C-alpha cells in the first residue's frame, strides 16, 4: 500500500474487506507499539480470528473469478498475517502454523538474494533447509481448530516454493567437485568480510589489503587458469570458482579505489540500510533480554520497500539513471545482511511468552553457570552452591498450583520454563551430591585416626 503501483480494489465487497482489514492492521500496529504491558494471548487471538473472518469473505468474493492482479487488499492481508505471525512468536506459540508465515517470507527473500548474487555456501543452505523441514512439520501437525485450512495451505505452498529455490542453489554446489568446495566457501567468506570492511564507519585500506595474500594463495593453486585435481584433470566447477576468485580480486581493486567514499545521491539509502543493519546487529547480541519479535516488522517493511523500489534489479535515480555496479552491490549486501539478521533472530525465538521471558532468561543463565561449574571440576563444599539453590527455590516458589502466573493469566511456554527449571535443579543436585562425597572422603582419614 506504500506504493502507487498497487491499485485499489474495484469490487465493492473487496473494498469493505479492505476497510475492515486496515482497522485490524492498525490495531495490531498499536498493540506492537505498546510496551507498558506484555502481549496477551487472548488479545492476539481476537485479532487473528477477525483477520481469518475477513480473508474468508475475500475468498468467497473472489470464488470463480480469474484474477492475477495484486491489489491493496492483498497487501493488507500480507501485513496482517506478517504482524500476527510475529505476535504468535511473541506470545510463545512458535510451533503453530501462523508463526511460520513471517519466517517463510524472510527465507524467500534470502533465497532470492542468494540466487541473484550467486554468492552462498553449503552452510547457508543447510540452515534454511533444516528450518523449512521444521516449518513443514509444524504446518502438517497443526489442527485447524479455530482457523483456516487456507492459511495452512498458503504457508505450505510458500514452503514448497522455498524448497524449489533451495534445490536449484544446492544443485550449484553439487556442480562443484568435492575437493574444490572448501576453496569456494573460502572465497564466499572473503567477499563477505570485504563487504563488512567496506561498510564500516571508517574505511581502512589495510582491512582490504590483508585479503590480497589469501586471494593470491588461492590463485596460485591454479594451473593455466584452472583448478586441477590429484589425477591431473580439471576439477568440476573450476570455471565457476575461478569466476568467483576474479570477482574477489576486482572487488578489492574497486574498494581501494573508492576508499570508503559513497556517491552522495545514493547516500540517504545507504545510511538507512547501514542503520538497519547496525540495529539488527545489536539486537542479535542482546536478543534474549531486549527483543520483542514484533519489533522485526518495521525492519522488514523498510527493507522490503527499498528492495522492491528496484527497476529491473537495480536502483534508479531521479534522472532515470541506474546505480553503478559498486553502489548496487554495496546496497544489496546491506539488504541481504539485514534479512540474514532477521532470519537468525526469528529462528532463535524461544517458544515462551514475553511475560515469562525474564524467568526463562534467568534460568538459562543459571543453567550455563551450573554447567560451567560442573565442567570445571564442581565445588569443594555444598556451601558454594547456596546462591544457586536460593535462586532456584525463589523461582520455584513463584509458581501457583504448578503454573507461573502473571496476574490472572497463565502465559504460554509453561512447559519450556518448567523443563528448564527441572534441568537446573538436576544439575544443582548432581553438584551437591559430588560435593558431599568429596567432603565425606576428606573427613574419613581424620575419623579413623
Along the 449 residues of the chain, how does pLDDT read in single tens digits? 444 468 888 889 999 999 999 999 999 999 999 988 889 999 999 999 999 999 999 988 988 777 667 889 999 999 999 999 999 999 999 999 999 999 999 999 999 999 998 889 999 999 999 999 999 998 888 754 545 688 888 899 999 999 999 999 999 999 999 999 999 999 999 999 999 999 998 988 888 888 988 999 999 999 999 999 988 999 999 999 999 999 999 999 999 999 889 999 999 999 999 999 999 999 988 876 778 899 999 999 999 999 999 998 899 998 889 999 999 999 999 999 999 999 999 999 989 999 999 999 999 999 999 999 999 999 989 999 999 999 999 999 999 999 999 888 899 999 999 999 999 999 999 999 999 988 888 776 554 44
Q: Reduce the DSSP state of residue 199 to 3 states and report it.
A: coil
For the chain, what is the domain count? 3
Same domain, 329 and 376: no
Within-domain flag for 114: no
Within-domain flag for 50: no
Same domain, 228 and 286: no
pLDDT recorded at residue 446: 52
| DSSP-assigned letter for residue 227 | E
Residues 6+ apart with CB under 8 A from 21: 51, 54, 73, 76, 77, 80
Residue carrying C-alpha cell 469490487: 11
Within-domain flag for 391: yes
What are the residues facing 377 on neighbouring strands? none
pTM, two decimals, is 0.88
Within-domain flag for 3: no
Same domain, 382 and 421: yes
Distance CA 98, CA 151 (A): 8
Cβ distance 195 to 333 under 8 Å? yes
Same domain, 365 and 405: yes
- Phi and psi at residue 24, to the nearest 5°: -65, -45
pLDDT recorded at residue 448: 46
Same domain, 283 and 248: no
Within-domain flag for 106: no
Give whole-number Cα distances, 322 to 23, 215, 310, 329, 408, in Å. 38, 31, 9, 12, 58
Same domain, 444 and 361: yes
Domain boundary among 230, 258, 286: 258
Residue carrying C-alpha cell 593455466: 224
Domain boundary among 258, 293, 315: 258
Distance CA 130, CA 128 (A): 5
Domain boundary among 282, 317, 349: 349
Distance CA 169, CA 270 (A): 28
Do the bridges between strand 399-400 and strand 403-404 make them parallel or antiparallel, or are there none, so unpaired? Answer: antiparallel
Give whole-number Cα distances, 183 to 114, 191, 230, 251, 409, in Å. 18, 12, 15, 18, 55
The size of the chain, in residues, is: 449
pLDDT recorded at residue 9: 85
Q: Reduce the DSSP state of residue 190 to 3 states and report it.
A: helix
Same domain, 235 and 253: yes
Which grid cell is 60? Answer: 468467497
Within-domain flag for 294: yes
pLDDT recorded at residue 288: 64
Within-domain flag for 168: no
Range of the domain at 416: 357-448
Calculate the dihedral angle through the C-alpha atoms of 441, 442, 443, 445, rounding to the nearest 10 degrees: 90
Same domain, 320 and 293: yes
Same domain, 339 and 369: no
Same domain, 374 and 395: yes
Exposed (0-12), middle (13-18) or buried (19+): which is 276, by Cβ within 10 Å? buried
pLDDT recorded at residue 2: 47
Within-domain flag for 76: no
Same domain, 298 and 343: yes
Same domain, 411 and 345: no
Which grid cell is 145? Answer: 481448530
Amino acid at each position: 500500500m506504500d506504493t502507487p503501483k498497487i491499485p485499489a480494489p474495484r469490487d465493492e465487497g473487496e473494498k469493505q474487506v479492505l476497510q475492515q482489514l486496515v482497522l485490524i492492521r492498525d490495531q495490531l500496529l498499536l498493540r506492537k507499539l505498546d510496551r507498558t504491558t506484555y502481549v496477551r494471548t487472548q488479545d492476539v487471538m481476537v485479532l487473528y480470528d477477525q483477520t481469518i473472518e475477513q480473508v474468508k469473505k475475500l475468498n468467497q468474493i473472489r470464488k470463480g473469478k480469474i484474477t492475477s492482479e495484486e491489489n491493496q487488499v492483498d497487501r493488507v492481508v500480507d501485513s496482517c498475517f506478517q504482524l500476527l505471525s510475529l505476535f504468535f512468536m511473541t506470545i510463545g506459540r512458535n510451533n503453530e502454523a501462523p508463526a511460520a508465515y513471517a519466517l517463510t517470507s524472510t527465507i524467500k527473500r534470502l533465497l532470492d538474494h542468494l540466487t541473484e548474487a550467486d554468492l552462498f555456501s553449503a552452510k547457508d543452505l543447510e540452515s534454511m533447509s533444516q528450518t523449512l523441514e521444521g516449518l513443514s512439520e509444524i504446518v502438517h501437525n497443526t489442527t485447524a481448530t479455530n482457523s483456516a485450512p487456507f492459511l495452512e495451505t498458503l504457508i505450505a505452498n510458500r514452503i514448497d516454493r522455498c524448497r524449489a529455490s533451495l534445490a536449484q542453489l544446492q544443485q550449484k554446489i553439487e556442480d562443484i567437485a568435492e575437493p574444490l568446495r572448501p576453496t569456494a566457501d573460502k572465497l564466499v567468506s572473503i567477499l563477505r568480510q570485504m563487504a563488512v570492511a567496506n561498510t564500516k564507519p571508517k574505511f581502512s585500506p589495510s582491512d582490504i589489503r590483508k585479503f590480497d595474500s589469501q586471494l593470491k594463495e588461492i590463485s596460485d593453486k591454479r594451473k593455466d587458469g584452472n583448478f586441477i585435481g590429484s589425477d591431473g584433470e580439471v576439477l568440476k566447477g573450476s570455471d565457476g570458482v575461478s569466476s568467483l576468485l576474479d570477482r574477489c580480486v576486482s572487488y578489492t581493486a574497486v574498494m581501494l579505489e573508492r576508499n570508503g567514499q559513497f556517491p552522495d545521491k545514493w547516500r540517504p539509502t545507504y545510511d538507512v540500510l547501514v542503520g538497519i543493519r547496525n540495529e539488527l546487529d545489536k539486537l542479535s547480541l542482546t536478543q534474549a533480554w531486549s527483543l520483542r519479535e514484533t519489533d522485526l516488522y518495521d525492519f522488514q517493511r523498510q527493507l522490503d520497500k527499498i528492495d522492491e523500489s528496484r527497476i529491473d534489479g537495480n536502483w534508479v535515480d531521479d534522472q532515470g539513471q541506474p546505480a553503478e555496479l559498486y553502489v548496487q552491490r554495496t546496497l544489496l549486501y546491506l539488504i541481504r545482511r539485514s534479512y540474514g539478521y532477521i532470519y537468525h533472530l526469528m529462528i532463535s525465538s524461544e517458544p515462551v511468552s514475553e511475560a515469562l521471558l525474564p524467568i526463562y532468561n534467568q534460568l538459562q543463565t543459571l543453567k550455563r553457570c551450573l554447567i560451567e561449574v560442573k565442567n570445571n571440576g564442581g565445588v569443594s563444599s555444598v556451601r558454594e552452591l547456596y546462591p544457586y539453590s536460593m535462586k532456584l527455590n525463589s523461582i520455584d516458589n513463584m509458581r501457583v498450583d504448578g503454573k507461573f502466573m502473571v496476574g490472572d493469566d497463565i502465559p504460554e511456554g509453561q512447559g519450556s520454563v518448567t523443563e528448564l527449571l527441572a534441568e537446573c535443579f538436576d544439575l544443582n543436585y548432581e553438584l551437591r551430591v559430588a560435593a558431599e562425597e568429596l567432603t565425606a572422603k576428606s573427613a574419613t582419614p581424620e575419623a579413623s585416626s
